[in-house]
Amino acid sequence: MSGDTFFFYAFSALALLGGLGTVLLRNAVHCALALMTSLLGVAGLYLLQGAEFLFAVQIVLYIGGIMVLFLFVIMLVNLDQASKLQQFGRQTPIALVVALAAVAAIFSMLSKSAVLLPASVSLTPLTGGNTETVANVLFTDYLLPFELVSILLLVAVVGSVMMAGKRTE
Amino acid sequence: MITYTSTDHFVLLPGLLLALFGCAVLLLDFLFPKDVKGRGWLVGIALSGVGFASWQSWQQYLYLKAHSMTPLVAFNGALVLDGFALFFNGIVLASAALVMLISYRYLEDEKEHHTEYYALVLFAACGAFFLNGGLDMVTIFVGLELMAVSFYILVGFLRTDKRSNEAAMKYLLLGGFSTGFLIYGFSIFYGLTGSTNLAALATVIPARGANDPLLYLAIVTTLVGLLFKIGAAPFHMWAPDTYEGAPTTVTAFLAVASKTASFALLLRVMLVGLGTAREMWEPLLTGAAVLTLTIGNLAAISQSNVKRLLAYSSIGHAGYVLLGLIAGNQTGLIGVSIYLLTYAFSTIGAFLVLIALRRRGVAVETIEDLASLGKRYPYYALLMLLFLMSLAGLPPTAGFIGKYYIFLSLVESGKYGLAIVGALYVAVSLYYYFRLVRSMFLTESIEAQVLAPSNGVRLVLALTGIATIAMGILPEPFLRMAAISLGR
């Protein structure tokens, strides 16, 4: 097993275990920390792909910025009641069976496929820095979706302000 | 180097106008007084946005017609302007305008009248445009999310209403989950082609050969996401709860604009991207269509809530449209277009009657609330009868033309079994639609005072009513419109 493969599985395991912890743990602070682990795993995967810019953004923005906000909110909101609620419904065993079956199906399909990637697709070496390449692609090939995302974010902001706004009778 | 050519501008302009007017509504909110009149001005601005976008779409149509309907590709193949996109954009624009006209008084009555509503309707329509015309998977995905996020907020717009909150929450969670499947499928497509363009996908598939497991996995996961969006079984569970809990005006918009644009996307992905892998997705879609028809029509029988009943019937309609795609010939595609057009007007009309009948303090909810409507409000009862006949597919209404073309295409392509199943479920649907009719005309009821509907509601009722009749009696111009969607 080469180093890359080893780290791929290590980071993937980190991301998956973190995700599971986010859903399964009862204490909200523990959940937030598990989510942080999961995001860290994903950041590692970005690094393995040679996407240094995404790696840095993932660490600074998600783990540095957003998670701290998460923890602040959890501190300010009284979560005693929430931790006493029943966490899962009665359908959990059925959901578990369905999820495992889906995983098995996906796994068998992936393993049966002889050639995963066509030979023509290969990672092209970057000219210039990683950040520069990302910026170039964003503003040329993906200009339209990039600009469209700004409207999407506006809608999300308007929506959250609306929902959190004062209830006027 | 950023390039933005005049072609890019021309293709993008209608969607851009919708987004700009949406921003304008949000920004100008401060200038107008927070009363009925001030909000009226903002509704006017939002409606003029739809007007300008429609005018620009008309210019696009004239241009395409002058160039023998050759598709116009913009943004390095991310967005395309063809008859197909134009036709579905038209349905989205029409439904946005109709919904905004009827929302004014409705939101006033619900005491949740905020101008953000109109901005969100415009943004949702803008997102739908990128589903109708998107060729690039990233563009499609962002457009899909723009539409979906706008709808999550609109569904939960009645913030003090528990059911509206519940509906929004369910829609958000399930919607996010289904989007995960869709983007997983897209990511495999990207891995297979090295390109995010649907056209590139079409060139790779023949080389991969039939029944390639990886391709199959990508198709299945993409279909999960798309079938969720069109509300087809077995991913329909959100629809009844969301349709019931959402503000009725939003329900109408969701049932028409979201479903139409998602069908446009489904057609585009299946026919442009995966057209050569037909033998892989056709059995899957056939199974989904039969299941959708069964669940939609059988579950509708036992509903006592009118909005829930219409939600299940809308699930059933998705099944018929899928049959048109499965038939796969030209007639089938014309059938899909004309079916979605007729469905749009009949559905908005049916929900509109419920809005118009809103009573002081309570909305019309159960079938009993419609009792003896024929005596109390004969005009509304007759209009409701007309819309229900159209939804059931009876001549001389619009719905008949749509169903006729779907069945014709099935017979032409030799899929008699599916045609028979479809016809059987038409009979089932007659039963539950006429339960409503029976309640309206044959039962006695309590006296209840109905609020006088606004002029907007009257106008839209008249428009949808006339359209439903006109499409049934004089289908020719509407069939010509549907032919535009095939680039003719």
Q: Considering only CB atoms, which chain B residues are within 8 Å of A110? A: 213-214, 217
- pLDDT for A169 equals 46
Mean pLDDT of B217-230: 93
Record: contact B213-A155, CB cut-off 8 A: no
| A 81-140: CB under 8 A from B | 106, 108-110, 112-113, 116-118, 120-121, 139-140
Record: contact A144-B75, CB cut-off 8 A: yes
Domain ranges of chain B: 1-176+239-273, 274-488
Pick from A113, A120, A159: which is nearest to B153 by CB?
Answer: A159
Residues 6+ apart with CB under 8 A from A6: none
Interval B305-318: pLDDT, tens:
999 999 999 999 99
Interval B317-333: pLDDT, tens:
999 999 999 998 889 99
DSSP per-residue letters across B234-266: TS-THHHHHHHHS-HHHHHHIIIIIHHHHHHHH
How far apart are alpha carbons B25 and B106 in whole angstroms?
A: 19
pTM beyond 0.90, yes or no: yes
Quote the ipTM score. Answer: 0.91
The nearest alpha carbon in chain B to A117 belongs to B192
Record: contact A141-B76, CB cut-off 8 A: yes
User: What tokens were used for A72?
Assistant: 């602040």
Q: Considering only CB atoms, which chain B residues are within 8 Å of A109? A: 213-214, 216-217
- pLDDT for A114 equals 60
CATH 3.40.228.10 fits A1-82, yes or no: no
Domain ranges of chain A: 1-82, 127-169
Interval B241-295: pLDDT, tens:
999 999 999 999 999 999 999 999 999 999 988 888 888 899 999 999 999 999 9
Query: Which single residue is written with the structure tokens 């033998």?
Result: B279
Omega before residue B453 within 30° of 0, cis = no
Instruction: Find out whether B186 and B137 touch, Cβ atoms under 8 Å.
Output: yes
- Helical H segments across chain A, by residue range: 3-24, 28-48, 52-57, 67-76, 80-84, 92-112, 130-139, 143-164
How far apart are alpha carbons B485 and B69 in whole angstroms?
A: 10
For B359, phi then psi, to 5°, come to -95, 165
Is residue B85 within a helix (H) or strand (E), and if so which, with residue range?
A: helix B83-110
Is residue B378 within a helix (H) or strand (E), and if so which, with residue range?
A: helix B378-392
Least Cα separation, residue A64 to chain B (angstroms): 24
The nearest alpha carbon in chain A to B221 belongs to A106
Interval B115-157: pLDDT, tens:
889 999 999 999 999 999 999 999 999 999 999 999 999 999 9
- pLDDT for A26 equals 82
User: What tokens were used for B206?
Assistant: 């023949």
Is residue B80 within a helix (H) or strand (E), and if so which, with residue range?
A: strand B79-81
Per-residue exposure over B176-187, b if at least 16 CB sit within 10 Å of its own CB, e if not = eebbebbbbbbe
Q: Considering only CB atoms, which chain A residues are within 8 Å of B145? A: 152
Least Cα separation, residue B167 to chain A (angstroms): 14
Interval A59-99: pLDDT, tens:
999 888 888 888 888 888 776 676 677 777 788 889 899 98
Across A47-56, B84-93, B355-364, least confident range: B355-364
Q: Pick the closest to residue B314 from B467, B433, B421, B458 (CA basis).
A: B433
Mean pLDDT of B87-115: 88
- pLDDT for B446 equals 65
* pLDDT tens-digit profile, chain A (169 residues): 678 889 999 999 999 999 999 988 888 888 889 999 999 999 999 988 888 888 999 999 988 888 888 888 888 877 667 667 777 778 888 989 998 999 998 888 888 766 656 555 455 555 667 788 888 888 888 999 999 999 999 999 999 888 887 665 4
Across B137-141, B223-227, B359-363, B386-390, least confident range: B359-363
Residue B405 DSSP SS3 = helix
Least Cα separation, residue A101 to chain B (angstroms): 14
- pLDDT for B486 equals 83
- pLDDT for B359 equals 66
